[in-house]
Amino acid sequence: MPSYTPFASTGTTDRPGIPGVPGIPSEPAHEHPSRLTVADELLTLLRDTTTEPRPDDQLEALTLAVAADLPVLLWGEPGIGKTAALTQLAEALELPLTTVIASVHEPSDFSGLPIVGDDPAEQGVPMAPPDWAVRLVRAGRGLLFLDELSTAPPAVQAALLRLVLERRIGSLQLPPGVRIVAAANPRGSAADGWELSPPLANRFVHLQWTHDHDVVIRGLGGTWPRATLPRLDPAKLPAAVDHARRAVCGLLTTRPALVHRLPSTETRRGGAWPSPRSWDMTIRLLAFAEAAGSSREVLSMLVRGAVGDGPGLELLACLDRMDLPDPEELLADPARADLPERGDRRQATLDGVVAAVRKRPDKARWDAAWALLVRALETGAPDLVVVPATTLATLRQEDWDVPEAIERLAGVVTLSRRADLSAEHAAARTADPVGAGR
Q: What is the C-alpha separation between 83 and 376, in angstroms, rounded?
A: 48
Whether the per-residue pLDDT at 45 is higher than 80: the answer is: yes
What is the number of other CB atoms lying within 10 angstroms of the CB of residue 157? Answer: 23
The per-residue pLDDT for range 98-127, each reduced to its tens digit, is: 999 988 888 888 877 777 666 666 666 677
The per-residue pLDDT for range 346-379, each reduced to its tens digit, is: 888 888 899 999 999 988 998 898 888 888 888 8
How much is the average pLDDT of 278-291?
Answer: 96
What is the number of other CB atoms lying within 10 angstroms of the CB of residue 367? Answer: 20
Give 316 or 428, the one with higher predicted confidence: 316
Question: Amino acid letter at 295?
Answer: S
**Least confident window among 35-44, 162-171, 184-193, 424-433:** 424-433
Q: What is the pLDDT of residue 414?
A: 55
Q: What is the pLDDT of residue 411?
A: 60
Q: What is the pLDDT of residue 69?
A: 94
Q: What is the C-alpha separation between 259 and 251, in angstroms, rounded?
A: 9
How confident is residue 206, by pLDDT bands cut at 50, 70 and 90? Answer: very high
How much is the average pLDDT of 312-330?
Answer: 87
Whether the per-residue pLDDT at 438 is higher than 70: the answer is: no
Q: What is the pLDDT of residue 246?
A: 93
What is the number of other CB atoms lying within 10 angstroms of the CB of residue 302? Answer: 28
Q: What is the C-alpha separation between 268 and 262, in angstroms, rounded?
A: 9
Do 62 and 88 form a contact (C-beta atoms < 8 A)?
A: no
Bridge partners of residue 50, in order along the sequence: 223
Give the residue from 37, 39, 4, 9 showing the smallest Cα distance to 24.
9
Q: What is the pLDDT of residue 47?
A: 87
How confident is residue 1, by pLDDT bands cut at 50, 70 and 90? Answer: very low
Q: What is the pLDDT of residue 420?
A: 44
What is the number of other CB atoms lying within 10 angstroms of the CB of residue 96? Answer: 15
How much is the average pLDDT of 152-171?
Answer: 88
Q: What is the pLDDT of residue 309?
A: 95
For 262-266, the CB contacts below 8 A with 24+ separation are: 262/198, 263/308, 266/195
Which of 152-166, 221-235, 369-383 tops mean pLDDT? 152-166
Q: What is the pLDDT of residue 428?
A: 59
Q: What is the pLDDT of residue 12?
A: 45
Phi, psi of 168 (to 5 degrees): -115, 140
